[in-house]
Structure 1
């Protein structure tokens, strides 16, 4: 059973798309660091070592809206990608049709990529909200399939 699941086209597709969104989520940390250094906005006193004066250090500890925007985007990824990966894995075990599974996976990945662009640039609303909502609908759709297939 286990080898047939791992070898299935649905599982291989899921593995690919899950890896894409996990890597995207992981890249948010270096993006946050980039924004912190370019905006000279740090969260911790010890990170302000490049400052020459105490006044400069104080200025570097003030929050920056660009840094906070990237951080919130990363937090949103954590809140949405982790459930997608867990529920998506369970979904693959229900034996869904490949074309239906691909639709779920592709819409989710597209929604998260667009969500990041809409958040970081920022694009006008409701672009970010629609991206978030479409990803959420996909995850709930897969969860419904998992629960429907359950033998309680």
Structure 2
């Protein structure tokens, strides 16, 4: 095993980054499931095997599909920066307990954000989950910059 993978902080980062990346990847099959169960497809070729009169009804948007798509987009906007900043943060050698707090809070926030988005939980549940996750990423970014910034 490479030496980096023996570092506790890096292994913790790899674990939680994988968790949130897998959660993000699972949003695509969830979108497909919603498309099929709601009969709402995005493109003509998606329903090419259906009769012509039925095709016009199936190429449409549906609120449930759009909700899952927006949740997925929000993951893309937040998980990718977490992974990039988190990698740099892990490489700066932070305390394990502090790093675990950052990684666990972010992962928990993203999972709760998706649950609150998909099941339309009342606000501010989703907004708070998003905000705390953003603050975690900004905290790690500040830590990286404070350790490596040379003026």
User: How does the TM-score come out when normalised to structure 1?
Assistant: 0.94
Structure 2: 5+ residue stretches without partners: none
Map 1:95-134 to 2 at 5 A.
95-134=93-132
Structure 1 residues 128-149: Cα deviation after superposition (integer angstroms, max 9, x where no partner): 0000001000000000000000
The residue aligned with 1:23 is 22
How far 1:57 sits from its partner (Å)? 1.0
Could you tell me how far apart the structure 1 residues matched to 2:102 and 2:132 are? 10
Could you tell me how far apart the structure 2 residues matched to 1:115 and 1:32 are? 16
How far 1:50 sits from its partner (Å)? 4.7
The residue aligned with 2:31 is 32
Structure 1 residues 84-110: Cα deviation after superposition (integer angstroms, max 9, x where no partner): 000000001111100100000000000
How far 1:51 sits from its partner (Å)? 2.9
How far 1:61 sits from its partner (Å)? 1.1
Aligned-CA RMSD value: 1.2
Could you tell me how far apart the structure 2 residues matched to 1:144 and 1:55 are? 57
Count of aligned positions:
149
The residue aligned with 1:82 is 80
Could you tell me how far apart the structure 2 residues matched to 1:26 and 1:151 are? 34
Runs of 4 or more consecutive aligned structure 1 residues displaced over 2 Å after TM superposition: 49-52
Could you tell me how far apart the structure 2 residues matched to 1:96 and 1:22 are? 22
Structure 1: 5+ residue stretches without partners: none
